[in-house]
Amino acid sequence: MKIRTKSRKVDKAWLSDHVNDPYVKLAQRDGYRSRAAYKLQEIDEALGLVRPGQVVVDLGSAPGAWSQYLRRRLAPAGGAAQGEVIALDLLPMEPVDGVRFVQGDFREAEVLAQLEALLAGRKLDLVVSDMAPNLSGVAPADAARIAHLVELAVDFACAHLKPQGTLVVKVFHGSGHSQLVRLFKDRFRTVKPIKPKASRARSAETFLAGTGLKAI
């Protein structure tokens, strides 16, 4: 009974935070599918990442807020997009106008091949990844799952980015974080950690941006 009571309290606290969250209200006003759009917006505004004419891949795209933001940035006047956004997620995603979507597990070669087919040999200006595993609460296991997804995103980016392209990934402070920072520094000329204001303060979530591929 105590566990259930605690769970209900947590649920009520989360619901209260969600309802009163200014970014949730902004998302509703601006037509975004989630508050996550403002995380990418802050990262973009800080680093100047997204410009019309680019080819961008959005990994871990569902429910689609990052894809929506990217699509709007590629068509700032509200017209036809100048450039292309290709999104991928394990979960289904409702269509976003002007965004091509692949559903599948990024860890599987067949799914990666579908994504690469859409690229048709084109090099990317930007790869963004909001991918996160289902967390178990067991720190070493969770750190390994997070690291694996980040490493896959880095490998994909290094294979497909233009020489001055950028990769943005979600990471979590805690076990394994310093190793992921080192991985970025080994692969990119410029590495910037960033914690958007839209990312909840109590969350261990943060982001790494790497720009300019190093020769390996």
| Contact partners, residue 155, CB within 8 Å, separation at least 6 | none
How far, in Å, CA of 164 to CA of 199, rounded?
27
Catalytic residue (choose from 123, 170, 197, 214): 170
214 classed as catalytic:
no
How far, in Å, CA of 63 to CA of 80, rounded?
22
Within 10 angstroms of residue 152's Cβ, the number of other Cβ atoms is 17
**Nearest C-alpha neighbor of 169 from the set 210, 116, 140, 115:** 210
* Spatial contact of 75 and 85, defined as CB atoms under 8 Å apart: no
Q: How far is CA 96 from the centre of its chain?
A: 16
Which residues are tagged catalytic? 170
